Structures are given as structure tokens and as C-alpha cells.
Amino acid sequence: MILLDGRKTSSNLKFEIAEEVSQMKLSGQSVPHLAAVLVGEDGASLTYVGSKVRSCQQVGFESTLLHLPNTISEDELLKQIELLNANGSIDGYIVQLPLPKHIDENKILMAIDPLKDVDGFHPSNFGKMALEMDTFIPATPFGIMELLERYKVETKGKHVVVVGRSQIVGRPMSILLSRKGNPGNATVTLMHSHTKHLSNITQQADIIVMALGIPKFLKADMVKDGVVIIDVGITRVPSDQNPKGYEILGDVDFEHVAPKSSYITPVPGGVGPMTIAMLLKNTLIACKRRQN
Amino acid sequence: MILLDGRKTSSNLKFEIAEEVSQMKLSGQSVPHLAAVLVGEDGASLTYVGSKVRSCQQVGFESTLLHLPNTISEDELLKQIELLNANGSIDGYIVQLPLPKHIDENKILMAIDPLKDVDGFHPSNFGKMALEMDTFIPATPFGIMELLERYKVETKGKHVVVVGRSQIVGRPMSILLSRKGNPGNATVTLMHSHTKHLSNITQQADIIVMALGIPKFLKADMVKDGVVIIDVGITRVPSDQNPKGYEILGDVDFEHVAPKSSYITPVPGGVGPMTIAMLLKNTLIACKRRQN
């Protein structure tokens, strides 16, 4: 069993990006600039955005945090989006979700200039991904593809089961792994809340991507020997044994599934750390596209 | 075994559309107007476009055929596209593929105004489809969804196998059937040229969509009893027995598979006739959107 180590891989990737940024500086180019829009004071969102900004500093990017009050109107937020689209010094930006309920998230996402949409959530970027055109791949699926590639996990002709059809993980994952290319060319089955006889199919899978959000859902008797496991779940559960008072659990019963696996991502330290690294990579790509 | 009769369904649908167009005329609204761009003299393309124009006449639409010479340059074609985008009297248009080799098809498709893209091939429309937003669904997959709906074929929780990952049929079909809604909510497996042990999985399928283009590929021993079969294949093969000198074959060995099926589309007369009807429906939708 080999651990797919997201911490190490993400740190290697950040190192490579930082190297490239140094070279850009040396040759007199402007460095990538990522902006983040945060509305309100949601605790988890503050943490995520904070860590994105810190990662920018680690690799030498410029970063801008636009922290707006919870009371902002949809129109005012749209004006801010227009300013970001027009701002020539910003290569890419993200709008941290969720937004307050009085704001239509789709309307905001649709207003982002696709060329600056480093989250890859705009329909035109999502469509390009599905149509195998050059675009931004959403960060979490992109991070999984990067892990599979760096660990040389064979996907061609393999049966992949993706559990969960969310727009940010399950759906794009199912598309990416069945596209042409490497990683890719897999036979992909997409499962969700309406799926019947789920374990009949997971037992046949060569690779399982769990993106359901139910702790320890995937048990050892639901997989075959030698399976590759990608666990996207991160659920906080109260815990007496952890000094923080909670622990982070994945969708996989790691203790019992790991011994049967050929490769498996730990939680935490698997897919999670890759996500921010891929957001940086998308910003670097956006910057290079704009300079060409 | 019940035949999913595309001829009858398509003719019902055209009748409904014609009724709606009559109402539009009576209330003084302008009727839907579809334009088709045809470059060169390819025989099959001439036939397809001709039949699209005739169908417009049948339902009372206006239609315009823009027939351009094979020697047209990419720039000149792009100018024609701009004119169609700007033309306020045209609700939707299609560019008949394939285009001559000196023209970049993606570049042309990207230039079509997504609001007039009644083929649903533009990335922003394709992305909206995948993200479950309101958009134009490509005509062939849309026609299959319509057949499933009108014949009340249950898809929720069913295991659907789609064979073939083309951008106009297999890929969108796999997305549509795994989306929320009805038809939809199915567990979908997408197969293609790299798939191994294909019949192991088709034997488990409740519904099989064949979009491979290999005549009689799906045999009776590859399916279970009661399966629903959607056959998108249309391959011309030479035939002495047919006065035309050829016959049209689907991807399914109909003679032997039909007796095991609960529902099956014939070829010809199944999915084929639905495609043009759905193009008309998309044009009607485009027209109503523009008038609102």
C-alpha cells in the first residue's frame, strides 16, 4: 500500500511554482496576482481565504483580499466583480462560497471574466473542460489528476467509480477521468444519492473517488484487493481524544480499507493540500496566458 | 417489448410545435426563424440541411439557407457568423459540420452567439448543461430524453451504460441522465474505445445507449432480460436486398436483442427522426426567450 501524500506533493508543486515566479521576476516580468473576494464573516470561509492568501505569499505571488460586509447588495457585489474584471494588474480571482442568501451565486459566477476564473466554475470554462478544450480545471479535481499523474497511477482502461455528483468535485472528476489523455481514458461510473446496489459496483472498481461527505462510508467489504482510493471527504466530527475537540474524517474507513488498497489518500493530508496548490497553478497559467 | 417509435413521436412533437406557431401568428408575434450555414457540396450535409429546411416549412417556421462555397476563407466565414449574430430576425442557427479542412471548426463554433446556438455545441451552453442551468441541449441527446419522457421509461436509480464518448451524443447523454430531474437521477457508466470487459458491465445495465457507430456491435448475450435499448448508430452498409443498394444499420443486433428488451428504438425510425424535431424545439425556445 502506497500513501498518495498530498502534503509532500503540494509542497513540491509550490516549490516548483516559486522557482518559476523567481525566474519571471529575474526576467523583469510581473508576477502572478490572485485576488479573493470574501463576503461576510463565516468562520470556515475566513480560514480558507486566509490560507489561500498565505500560500500566495509562500510562492511569491501578489495577492489581494477584498473583504466585503455581509450586508452588501447583489448589485454592489456585481460592481466589484466588474472592477476585478477590468483591473489589468489582477490575473485571476475567486469568489469564496457560500455567499449570503440574498445574493444569487449563479449570477455572480456568471459575471466573472472566464479568463480570470481560476476556480474554473464559469459555465464556459466548465464546458471547455467537458469538450476537451484548453481551460481552467476546478482546483480539487485538478489536484486529484496531479496526484494520479505524479504517482503514475494507471487510469487508461480502468474502471473508475466516482461517488457524489457535486459540481465542484464529483461531476468534473467523472468527466476528466473519461476524457482522452493521461490521466484519463478510464471507464467511469458516476454514483449519487439515488444509486441502488452501490457496493455491487464499488466492488468491481479499480479506482474509487469518494466525494460524498459521509464519514467512513466506504468499508473494506465494499472494495476489491488492490483498489486505488481517492478520498475527498472532510467532515469535522466531535472527538474527546483530540485536543482541538474534533477530528477530520474522510468518506473512507481508512483503517480497514487501506490494507486492501494499492494506493490511498490519507485524510487529512491527501486531496486537501492539493487544492490550494492547484489554485496557484491556475493563477500562474492565467498570468502566462495574459502575458503571451 | 415496446418499440420507442421516433417517427411517431417526432411527428406528434412537430404537430405540437406547429400548433404553437399558429397561435404565435394569430397573436401577431413573429414566428421562429432558423438559419443553416452550409459550406461546400458534401452529399450527406446537403441532405441533412435540406431536411432541416423542409421541417421548418412543415411547422411554419421561417428558414434561411446560407450556402457558401467550399473555397470560403475562415475570416470570411467568421464575418458571416457575425452577421447572423447581429441579424435581429434570426432566432437561432446551425453551422452544418464537417467544415472544409482549412477552417478551424472550434473557432467557428466559439464565434456563434450562445443565445442563437440551437445546436447546443458552444462551450458555455455545454457547461450550463453540465451545471444543470437553463440552456440549449444538443438535439440528439435532447431527442433521447424526450423519447424516454414520453414513453415514461423510469431512469431514477437505474444503471445506464452509455457506449461512446462523442461530444455530440455520448458525453452529453452521460451527463443528462446523471443530472437531477426526470429523466435523470440514473447511475451512469460511460464507455469508449479503451474500455475493458465491456460486456461484463453491459450485462448489468438497466438501460443501454449505443453511440459507437459499429453496426450490430451489441449482441443478445451482452444484455440482460428487460433491458431498455437506445440505438444512436446509423451506418450505411452495401446491400443487394435493398433497391437503394444500401441499408442503414444501428449499433445493436436488433433481431436478437429486441426479444430480450422491455423498450427498444428501431433503426431507422428511432432516435434519428427525433433529432430534427428537437432542433425545431430549440429554435422555438430561442424565439420565445428573445421575445420575453
What's the rounded Cα separation, in Å, for the pair A225 and A201?
A: 14
Instruction: Work out the average pLDDT over B61-87.
Output: 98
Least CB–CB distance from B133: residue in A123, A179, A196: A123
Q: Same fold for the domain at A29-113 and the one at A139-273?
A: yes
Q: Do B195 and A175 touch (CB under 8 A)?
A: no
* Domain boundaries, given as residue ranges, for chain B: 28-113, 139-272
pLDDT tens per residue, range B125-156: 999 999 999 999 999 999 999 999 999 999 99
Q: Which residue in A279, A268, A288 sits closest to A58, CA to CA?
A: A279
A80 a catalytic residue: no
Q: At the topology level of CATH, where does B139-272 sit? A: Rossmann fold (3.40.50)
A29 as an active site residue: the answer is no
Quick one: CA torsion of A121, A127, A133, A136, rounded to 10 degrees? 0
In this predicted structure, the answer to whether residue A122 has a pLDDT above a threshold of 90 is yes
ipTM given for this complex = 0.95
Q: Which residues pair with A189 in a beta bridge?
A: A161, B189
Cell numbers that stand for B44 in this block: 450527406
Q: Say if the Cβ atoms of B123 and A122 lie within 8 Å.
A: no
B198-246 pLDDT, tens digit per residue, is 999 999 999 999 999 999 999 999 999 999 999 999 999 999 988 989 9
Cβ within 8 Å, pair A130-B133: no
**How far, in Å, CA of B270 to CA of B247, rounded?**
15
> For chain B, which residues lie within 8 Å of any Cβ of chain A, measuring from their own Cβ?
106, 122-133, 135, 156-157, 159, 165, 167, 171, 174-175, 178-179, 185-192, 194-197, 200-201, 204
Q: What is the pLDDT of residue B133?
A: 95
Rounded to an integer, the average pLDDT of A218-231 is: 98
Catalytic residue (one of A14, A52, A116, A281):
A52
φ, ψ of residue B227 to 5 degrees: the values are -65, 150
Supply the residues of B annotated as catalytic.
Answer: 52, 96, 119
Q: Cα separation of A86 and A113, whole Å?
A: 9
> pLDDT digits over B91-100, tens only?
999 999 999 9
| Shortest alpha-carbon distance between residue B23 and chain A (Å) | 33
In this predicted structure, the answer to whether residue A83 has a pLDDT above a threshold of 90 is yes
- Residues from chain B contacting residue A175 (CB–CB below 8 Å): 130, 171, 175
Among A109, A161, A165, most B C-beta atoms within 10 A, so best to mutate, is: A165
- Residue B84 C-beta-side C-alpha neighbours within 13 Å: 30
Distance from CA of A164 to the nearest CA of B (A): 11
Residue B159 has pLDDT above 90, yes or no: yes
What would the CATH number be for the domain defined by A139-273?
Answer: 3.40.50.720
User: Any idea which residue has 440528439 for its cell?
Assistant: B140
Report which of B116, B238, B137 is spatially closest to residue B183, judged by C-alpha positions: B137
pLDDT of res. B292: 78
| Mean pLDDT of all residues in A220-242 | 95
Write down the mean pLDDT value for chain B.
97
Q: Which of A259, A210, A250, A249 lies closest to A3 in space, CA to CA?
A: A259
What dotted CATH number matches B28-113?
A: 3.40.50.10860
Prediction pTM value: 0.96
Cβ pair B108, B94 in contact under 8 A: no
pLDDT in tens, A95-119: 999 999 999 999 999 999 999 999 9
Separation between Cα atoms, residue B118 and residue B94, nearest integer Å: 7
DSSP state for residue B4 in the 8-state scheme:
-
- Which residues of chain A have a CB within 8 Å of the CB of B113? none
Largest CA distance in chain B: 59
Interchain CB distance below 8 Å, A157 and B122: no
Give the Cα-Cα-Cα angle A210, A126, B144 (nearest 5 degrees): 85
Give the CATH number of domain A29-113: 3.40.50.10860
Give the whole-angstrom CA distance, residue B47 versus residue B59: 19
